[in-house]
Amino acid sequence: MMASVNDLQSVVREATEQFLVGDAPALAGELTDALIVVSARVARLRRSFETPQTGERDEGLDGELRAIDEAFGRTVDLARRLSQAIRAHRAPGAYASAANIARELGRQLGSSMPEPMRLALHCPAGPVLAMIPPSELRRILVVLVRRVVEGVGDGGGELLLEVSEIRSSREARIVVGHPKLRPAAAADAAEQARELVHAWGGSVDPCARAMGGAAVVVVLPGAC
């Protein structure tokens, strides 16, 4: 039976969460992002809640929501400090094997991805080193894969995950794409990953695919 869009997105999210398990900096970053989303939703709820008849706030409920909002604010701050503390203990100038990490993600996705979507993983035999901590590269890949799958819609076709080395500059090049991905959805996926990629001196851009559809291309500094 063909998987629904929600089923596919749920499977991909679970697979990428497993991909992050055991990587403390990546998990701390995911925790921070999740808490920010919940905190923002609570804040919007508190601002919008009014008694319909009078336009006045229910002071008791408003106080409870304010307390929850403040608690989430403190939690977000603690999660950010945790993330910073973990990263401060990592060796500076760490390198990640983009090919090995992509293969690891491919194994997670390939073993759980339902029909009709298939994974096409293209990696060279070598490691393809990128000047970025492995945890940050994992986060970038997770953001891109999730956004691309969300942008595809019905989930059919072949999800491309490709890693290569730009020989002239020794930079690492990562491509995530799909034949049904629209340019606007590719641009959104690139935007979601932009801050993470730029923090490590890389670039991220959407592009059209020669065989149809669109992709997101990440270029990261490589080993000198």
Residue 130 reports pLDDT greater than 90: yes
Kindly report, residue by residue over 63-107, the tens digit of the pLDDT. Answer: 777 777 777 777 777 777 766 666 555 555 578 899 999 999 998
Token pair for residue 189? 């996926």
3-state secondary structure 52-74: CCCCCCCHHHHHHHHHHHHHHHH
Cβ–Cβ under 8 Å, residues 170 and 224: yes
- DSSP one-letter code for 207: E
CA 15 – CA 6 distance, rounded (Å) = 14
Helix (H) or strand (E) holding 150: helix 134-152
Contact (CB, 8 A) for 202 and 219: yes
Does an H or E element contain 118, and which? strand 117-122
Q: Which CATH superfamily is domain 92-220 in?
A: Histidine kinase-like ATPase, C-terminal domain (3.30.565.10)
- pLDDT tens, position by position, 33-59: 777 777 777 777 767 765 555 555 566
What is the torsional sign of CA 162, 163, 166, 167?
Answer: negative
CA-derived radius of gyration, the chain: 20
Which of the four pLDDT bands, split at 50, 70 and 90, describes residue 1?
Answer: very low
Q: What residues are paired with 160 via a beta bridge?
A: 120, 177
What is the value of pTM for the model shown?
Answer: 0.68
Q: Residue 91 gets which letter from DSSP? A: P
- Closest-CA residue to 18 (of 115, 145, 129): 145
